[in-house]
Structure 1
Amino acid sequence: MKFAIIHIGKTSDKGLRSFIEEFRKRLSRFAKLEIIVVNSPKGKLNAEEVKQKEADHVCKHLNSSDLVVLLDEGGASLTSRRFAKMISEHFLHRSQRMTFVIGGAYGFADILQKRSNESISLSRMTFNHELALAVFVEQLYRALTIINKHPYHND
């Protein structure tokens, strides 16, 4: 299994970086995970221009065979078990990389929404990109432990 997480902006909080790295190590038992940081555009740009520039940077890291999943507050709400099922169904029928994208402050440009295969939500609340990455890495680990029948997840 191969996964990529593309997110806008660096994680500056040391505690969150440590948390993310810990779960990245744990994930390595089950799958290959690449975390790709895309810098937020600089300068005086309106929201649409920012979204477009971010999308351009994100698209440079996508493979044509990637299954692209946007992490968006308006996406489908899944339980941890349903998320695990989504992942296992993907890898049962496809062999390409599953790429998750955490957007910037203004969300996603239309071109990225059209390129995506799915959109899921971590919560109906909005998180900054650093916290979203930390929560998502833990949920990805949780899903892989469910798939592999590891005792991390309790119902």
Structure 2
Amino acid sequence: MKINVVSIAKPEKGCYAELCERFAKMSGRFATLDSADIFNAKVTRAQESSPQKAKEVYAQLFAPWMKKGYTVALDPAGKKVDTDAFARLMEDRNEITFFLGGAYGHGNDFLRGCDSVISLSPLTMSHKVAKVVLFEQIYRALTILHNHPYHK
């Protein structure tokens, strides 16, 4: 299985990145987990312009990944799933791509273009924390799918 995590964010070098790398490495027993952080001058200009423009730019930057397997947008208004449902979402997939939006989230057109839209939590959290939670849940789901005891 190939898992992609794509986010509108500046590349992180601190403790959050270390945690994501640790979960990616542990996931390597079961799948390939790759991460791409996208942030450039176009994002900065769009975010300074308006939330709508920012969402349009995010969607443009995500476009190359939209054909990479089953696509899942993370959005606070998305479907609430527990860990078992999250694991079932990943089950029997050859490739899955998760999208973390920028400061203004995702546009409605982008969300409609994804195969699934889920929420990690009703809590508001920074993108860095959300990414760590996502990486941990991916690892946990993989252990559930492979009957590994981590999830117990």
Query: Given the two structures, how large is their TM-score scaled by the length of structure 2?
Result: 0.90
Query: Given the two structures, how large is their TM-score scaled by the length of structure 1?
Result: 0.89
Kindly indicate whether the alpha-carbon contact (under 8 Å) linking 1:105 and 1:128 is maintained by their aligned counterparts in 2: no
- Corresponding residue number in structure 1 for 2:78: 75
- Corresponding residue number in structure 2 for 1:84: 87
SS at match of 1:54: helix
Query: What is the deviation of 1:66?
Result: 2.2
Query: What is the deviation of 1:10?
Result: 2.3
Kindly indicate whether the alpha-carbon contact (under 8 Å) linking 1:68 and 1:118 is maintained by their aligned counterparts in 2: yes
- Corresponding residue number in structure 1 for 2:110: 112
Q: Partners in 2 of 1:11 and 1:122 — Cα distance?
A: 21
Q: Partners in 2 of 1:103 and 1:35 — Cα distance?
A: 14
Unaligned runs of 5+ in 2: none
Q: Indicate whether 1:153 and 2:132 are aligned.
A: no
Identity of aligned residues (%): 31
- Corresponding residue number in structure 2 for 1:100: 98
Instruction: Deviation per CA, 1:89-110: give whole Å up to 9, x if none.
Output: x42xxx4x21110111111123
Kindly indicate whether the alpha-carbon contact (under 8 Å) linking 2:59 and 2:107 is maintained by their aligned counterparts in 1: yes
Q: Partners in 2 of 1:125 and 1:37 — Cα distance?
A: 22
Query: What is the deviation of 1:62?
Result: 2.7
Kindly indicate whether the alpha-carbon contact (under 8 Å) linking 2:27 and 2:139 is maintained by their aligned counterparts in 1: yes
Kindly indicate whether the alpha-carbon contact (under 8 Å) linking 1:4 and 1:98 is maintained by their aligned counterparts in 2: yes
SS at match of 2:143: helix
Query: What is the deviation of 1:5?
Result: 0.7
Kindly indicate whether the alpha-carbon contact (under 8 Å) linking 2:65 and 2:97 is maintained by their aligned counterparts in 1: no
Instruction: Deviation per CA, 1:93-131: give whole Å up to 9, x if none.
Output: xx4x21110111111123311210111111011222111
Q: Within 5 Å, which residues of 2 pair with 1:30-69?
A: 30-39=30-39, 41-43=43-45, 44-63=48-67, 66-69=69-72
- Corresponding residue number in structure 1 for 2:139: 141
Q: Partners in 2 of 1:126 and 1:59 — Cα distance?
A: 26
Kindly indicate whether the alpha-carbon contact (under 8 Å) linking 1:20 and 1:137 is maintained by their aligned counterparts in 2: yes
Query: What is the deviation of 1:87?
Result: 1.3
Higher percent of residues as helix: 2
Compared with structure 1, are the counterparts of its residues 61 and 87 closer, same or farther at alpha carbon in structure 2 (3 Å cutoff)? closer
Q: What is the aligned length? A: 148
Query: What is the deviation of 1:142?
Result: 0.1
SS at match of 1:99: strand
Kindly indicate whether the alpha-carbon contact (under 8 Å) linking 2:59 and 2:110 is maintained by their aligned counterparts in 1: yes
Output the amino acid matched with 2:85: R
